[in-house]
Amino acid sequence: MISRSRGARGTAGPATTAAATIATGPQSPAAPESAASHYCARLVKLDPGFYTLTLADPTPWREQLVGFAVPAVHVISAAEDDTLEITNELGQADAWIGGRNKTLFAKSTVPVTALVTAYRGRDPDQTQLKLQIARLSGDGVDADGAIVTVDLADSSAVRWPRLVNLDVIAHIRGHGDVRFIDVDWAGRAGTGLWIEAFALMPRDPAVIQAIEYKGLLGDGSETPWTPCGALCGTRGRGTSLLGFAIRQKASPSDMRFDCEYSGYFRSAVTAGPVRNGAPCRSTAENDPLEGIQVRINQRPARAASSSG
């Protein structure tokens, strides 16, 4: 399942050729800052001609059973008309590059503006997309000026806080270990399907070293603080977790994180969000944990202190 962000912001591109000009993309003033980095837009002015559109570098597509593969690139005419004809390799009308669809073809007999939008997933720093537009026919085409590369990286300054990309493994009653990728909640598989153990799996090795968590067991005891990647709780005992907590380790680090998390319980109570090591548990007694929601935000490193 793919978590979808809202809003987009385009920024000025650096390149121009006789065939195409990269202009300023549209923006949505209501877009939340945490979503803006997940995708961006460019307006590309095209002279009359026939073009191929492909990604400049190989891209690690992540196929999904629900939704669509990300990263993905969407190309349409910026005007509400039919002056820009876009097809795929089979000659069918299409607007997406992503997954198995590697190339689009664009044709226009008049100058047009294309809206190019990149959906880069939840880890934009690991997805630096560049779209290569090659002009195959039209006035003025030559070997030196037929190709333009559109940089689909977000060229704005780094935004803080930055959402850490992570997966959650939950050991669910009757289902065993289930890995949750790019979803709002881990668990919530149904009433009575409580979580017996969980593990956080950040995709950044530096984050793995910085975060730890613990659980409150059904007998009232607490687990030790557990490092990322290790299972916290029990397997095969039929015992649910009643709560949990997540925090940054106390060891010295140049990185700073805010850990925010919520729990969903069998009684339909949602507890949280709570932060940075505070216990997350139901207001009802002996209420099994059935869902976990985690957001870890990286903040700017502390400024080095100076003496003298």
Q: What pLDDT is stored for residue 100 in this prediction?
A: 74
Q: What pLDDT is stored for residue 172 in this prediction?
A: 92
Question: The CATH number of the domain where 144 resides is what?
Answer: 2.60.40
- Domain extent for 173: 162-299
Q: Domain end: 151, 178, 209, which one?
A: 151
Same domain (yes/no): 143, 205: no
Burial of 170 (0-12, 13-18, 19+ CB in 10 A): buried
Same domain (yes/no): 203, 92: no
In a domain, 308, yes or no: no
Mean pLDDT for the stretch of residues 42-52: 87
Same domain (yes/no): 135, 185: no
> Is the pLDDT confidence value at 1 over 50?
no
Same domain (yes/no): 93, 185: no
Same domain (yes/no): 59, 178: no
In a domain, 156, yes or no: no
- Tell me the three state secondary structure of residue 237: coil
In a domain, 171, yes or no: yes
Q: Identify the residue with better confidence: 69 or 90.
A: 90
In a domain, 187, yes or no: yes
Q: How many domains does the chain have?
A: 2
- Mean pLDDT, the chain, rounded, equals 76
> Is the pLDDT confidence value at 223 over 50?
yes
Give CA torsion, residues 192, 198, 204, 205, to 10 deg: -170
Same domain (yes/no): 213, 118: no
- Integer-rounded Cα Rg, in Å, for the chain is 24
Mean pLDDT for the stretch of residues 261-269: 94
Q: Domain end: 104, 129, 151, which one?
A: 151
Same domain (yes/no): 189, 270: yes
In a domain, 11, yes or no: no
178/157 Cα distance (integer angstroms): 36
In a domain, 42, yes or no: yes
> Is the pLDDT confidence value at 13 over 60?
no
pLDDT digit string, tens, across residues 138-153: 665 554 446 777 777 6
In a domain, 144, yes or no: yes
pTM of the entire predicted model: 0.50
pLDDT digit string, tens, across residues 156-166: 444 556 788 88
pLDDT digit string, tens, across residues 177-204: 999 987 889 998 888 899 999 999 998 8
Same domain (yes/no): 211, 256: yes
